[in-house]
Amino acid sequence: MAFLTPAQFVELRLDLEKLKGELTSLVELTAESAKPVDLEEPIGRLSRMDAMQNQQMAQANERSHSERLDRVQNALEAMDRGEYGTCGFCREAIPFERLKPLPETQICVSCQERGESGVSR
């Protein structure tokens, strides 16, 4: 099995720590702009629509950032348990080439493709 080398492991851990920091500040930032629109504010009908649209986009961003942050945190916990780099479904090793661009991944390519094509696992 092609498990990660210690150097690759360290590199991915640093990537995850960095990602965690970035996502944490992104989540905090978007939480600010996702605050409810103040309907008492004297703004025109159109700009109120804009404000609500912006708010919805900010909320969607916040969701995807915090979902990714969850996955990053799960991956870091998996590292601590010594389970990182192994597919959560089939227990196959996940290659470094897949983890490098997406270090929070804990599913191998074939399991992900199975999941995306809608076949139950």
CB atoms within 10 A of CB 12: 20
Q: How far is the CB of 85 from Zn ion (least distance, A)?
A: 12
Q: Give the total residue count for the chain.
A: 121
One residue of 31, 71, 111, 114 binding Zn ion per CB under 5 A: 111
Q: How far is the CB of 98 from Zn ion (least distance, A)?
A: 11
Is residue 99 near Zn ion by the rule CB under 5 A? no
Q: Which residues, 58 to 97, sit near Zn ion by CB under 5 A?
A: 87, 89-90
Place of tokens 């590292």: 79
Chain centroid to Cα 19, Å, comes to 9
